[in-house]
């Protein structure tokens, strides 16, 4: 985890494991004079669910884009299962699924056609059965052959999760999945996210909704002005006072 | 083989969406029809020999309606950020380029296959014994146009004034292909032997190959944020 540096002579928290699922080391990203990320470092093990909170413009989405190899960092190294993202040739991308506030779905195609298309991109075996399974998992079987453009925001988000589940990735990134959802749709999404946690998947979720984030995560982080200002295991977090902790951390603004 | 299956999946996805919406094809076809009809009415074909202007009119119709199709091509991928979704998949990013390029080529060739008979009727030009050589020129010329056009369409998709920027960026680059295509078409329509257009066809073919290779190598960097 994001432990403070070890001072001279002090011996503690030495971790001898070589390969974390996600190993982010001193990652920075600048757009011209603007620093979107500054020396972000953290490590995540198999089965971890990290919820990242932070105000708008904190660099959370940039971090996810770097972790999914959509954007190259200005400096620093990201390793997925011990392999540097810099050297990847598609093998790492096979194991990563991204749910964004944009659905990545084609409005003029049906859910079946969208999933069939993405399934082909990932070489998913037994495609028809897999489509039927994931679409059932998100509760959209009855709408399988309706054009996506007729879907509500909540249905789009569930279909987006079905798209991500198609290749059964071991890592999932969720970028503000609750954006624009009503209470009912949010509850459904929460149940789906709880199901995602089952197994050994490593998940990172960016959200503004502290309550929703805390109820599913194993680790929690607060990102402010491009830096991870706070990171802790959920067992060590005082849930009742976390909101106060969040506002204090964001308000300090000296990162 | 796996690479080509993925390219074809992208092409088929575009064809499927186009069959449902008819957005690209209908705008291209109506525009090309308008160009042919307007030129037909504005020029007195009893005083002007149609063979003096026909090749120019035909390629104006093809290229300007092609621009409409190219403008829509990546806009379709912008919807719900689908291009980013494609970039997240483990495919080689050049497959995205080839898929989109082949889709554009198919749409343009279908539009041209319908526009040419209308052109023949409106301008009263016989092409029955020249169909194969004319088809070769049209296919090679269109390939050159969409090869560069697809690349520039990807570049301009994030620009606000993309409808204006695409032709401004594209036309100066494809001028050699358009000139060679117009010259070859003119030679074919006036009944000159096929050997006379070989040098023009070579120019188009070299252009096609060069820009296919350049696009293959550069596409990944163009779509990267």
CB contact under 8 A, A105 and B82: yes
Structurally, how many domains does chain B consist of? Answer: 1
CB contact under 8 A, B82 and A113: no
Q: Which residues of B touch A108 (CB under 8 A)?
A: 17, 20-21
- Reply yes or no on whether the pLDDT at A6 is more than 70: no
- Reply yes or no on whether the pLDDT at B16 is more than 60: yes
Nearest chain A CA: its distance from B174 CA (Å): 31
CB contact under 8 A, B88 and A68: yes
Give me the pLDDT at residue A9, please. Answer: 37
In this prediction, residues B102-109 reach a mean pLDDT of 96
CB contact under 8 A, A93 and B88: yes
- Reply yes or no on whether the pLDDT at A1 is more than 50: no
* Residue that wins the pLDDT comparison between B89 and A90: B89
Give the integer Cα–Cα distance in Å for B211 and B222: 14
Length of chain B: 225
Q: Is A151 on the interface with B (CB under 8 A)?
A: no
Instruction: Give the pLDDT band (50/70/90) at residue B194.
Output: confident
With H, G, I as helix, E, B as strand and everything else as coil, classify residue A29: strand
Q: Are B10 and B93 in contact (CB under 8 A)?
A: no
SS3 for B182-212 is HHHHHHHHCCCCHHHHHHHHHHHHHHHHHHH
CB contact under 8 A, B17 and A106: yes
Joined together, the tokens standing for residue A238 give 């005082």
CATH homologous superfamily of A22-252: P-loop containing nucleotide triphosphate hydrolases (3.40.50.300)
CB contact under 8 A, A108 and B92: no
CB contact under 8 A, A106 and B80: yes
Residue in chain A closest to B13 (alpha carbons) equals A117
Q: Are B81 and B31 in contact (CB under 8 A)?
A: no
Percentage with pLDDT > 70 across chain A: 91
A169 forms beta bridges with none
Q: Is A125 on the interface with B (CB under 8 A)?
A: no
Q: Is A121 on the interface with B (CB under 8 A)?
A: yes
Give me the pLDDT at residue B165, please. Answer: 87
Give the integer Cα–Cα distance in Å for B14 and A113: 11
Instruction: Give the pLDDT band (50/70/90) at residue A3.
Output: very low
Give me the pLDDT at residue A253, please. Answer: 59
- Reply yes or no on whether the pLDDT at A96 is more than 70: yes
Length of chain A: 255
Partner-chain residue, chosen from B81, B90, B91, that has the shortest CB–CB distance to A100: B81
A219 forms beta bridges with A50, A233
**Closest C-alpha to A116, from A108, A151, A124, A140:** A124
Give the integer Cα–Cα distance in Å for A90 and A208: 31
Percentage with pLDDT > 90 across chain B: 69
Of A77-81, A184-188, B70-74, B217-221, the least confident: A184-188
- Reply yes or no on whether the pLDDT at B1 is more than 80: no
Q: Where are the domains of chain A?
A: 22-252
Give me the pLDDT at residue A10, please. Answer: 39
Joined together, the tokens standing for residue B222 give 């163009």
Mean per-residue pLDDT of chain B: 91
- Segments forming the whole domain that contains residue B123: 2-223
pLDDT tens figures, B120-138 = 999 988 888 889 999 999 9
Instruction: Give the pLDDT band (50/70/90) at residue A13.
Output: very low
pLDDT tens figures, B26-80 = 999 999 999 999 999 998 888 888 888 999 999 999 999 999 999 988 888 888 8
């Amino acid at each position: 985890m994001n432990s403070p540096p070890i001072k001279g002579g002090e011996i503690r928290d030495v971790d001898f494991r070589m390969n974390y699922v996600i190993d982010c080391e001193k990652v920075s990203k600048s757009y011209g004079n603007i620093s979107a990320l500054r020396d972000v470092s953290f490590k995540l093990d198999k089965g971890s669910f990290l919820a990242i909170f932070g105000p708008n413009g904190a660099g959370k989405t940039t971090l996810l884009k770097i972790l999914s190899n959509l954007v190259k960092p200005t400096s620093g190294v990201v390793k997925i299962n011990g392999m540097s993202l810099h050297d990847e040739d598609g093998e790492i991308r096979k194991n990563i699924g991204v749910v964004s506030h944009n659905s990545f779905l084609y409005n003029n195609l049906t859910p079946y056609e969208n999933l069939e298309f993405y399934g082909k991109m990932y070489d998913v075996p037994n495609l028809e059965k897999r489509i039927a399974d994931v679409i059932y998992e998100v509760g959209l079987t009855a709408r399988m052959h309706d054009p996506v453009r007729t879907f509500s925001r909540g249905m789009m988000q569930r279909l987006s999760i079905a798209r991500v589940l198609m290749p059964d990735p071991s890592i999932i990134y969720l970028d503000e999945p609750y954006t624009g959802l009503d209470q009912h749709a949010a509850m459904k999404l929460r149940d789906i996210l709880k199901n995602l946690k089952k197994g050994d998947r490593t998940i990172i979720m960016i959200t503004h909704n502290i309550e929703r984030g805390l109820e599913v995560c194993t680790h929690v982080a607060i990102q402010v002005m491009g830096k991870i200002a706070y990171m802790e295991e959920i067992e060590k977090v005082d849930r009742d006072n976390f909101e106060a902790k969040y506002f204090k951390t964001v308000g300090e603004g000296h990162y | 083989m796996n690479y080509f299956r993925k390219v074809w999946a992208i092409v088929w996805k575009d064809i499927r969406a186009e069959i449902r919406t008819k957005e690209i094809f209908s705008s291209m076809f109506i525009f090309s029809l308008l160009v042919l009809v307007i030129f037909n009415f504005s020029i007195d074909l009893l005083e002007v020999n149609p063979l003096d202007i026909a090749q120019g009119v035909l390629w104006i119709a093809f290229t300007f309606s092609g621009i409409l199709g190219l403008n829509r091509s990546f806009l379709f991928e912008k919807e719900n950020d689908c291009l980013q979704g494609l970039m997240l998949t483990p495919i080689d990013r050049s497959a995205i380029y080839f898929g989109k390029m082949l889709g554009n080529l198919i749409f343009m060739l279908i539009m041209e296959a319908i526009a040419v008979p209308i052109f023949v009727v409106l301008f009263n030009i016989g092409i029955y014994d020249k169909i194969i050589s004319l088809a070769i020129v049209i296919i090679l010329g269109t390939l050159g146009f969409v090869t560069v056009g697809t690349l520039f369409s990807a570049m301009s998709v994030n620009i606000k004034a993309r409808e204006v920027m695409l032709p401004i960026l594209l036309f100066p680059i494809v001028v050699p292909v358009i000139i060679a295509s117009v010259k070859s078409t003119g030679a074919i329509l006036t009944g000159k032997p096929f050997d006379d257009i070989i040098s023009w066809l070579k120019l188009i073919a070299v252009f096609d190959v060069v820009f296919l290779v350049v696009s293959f190598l550069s596409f990944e960097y163009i779509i990267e944020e």
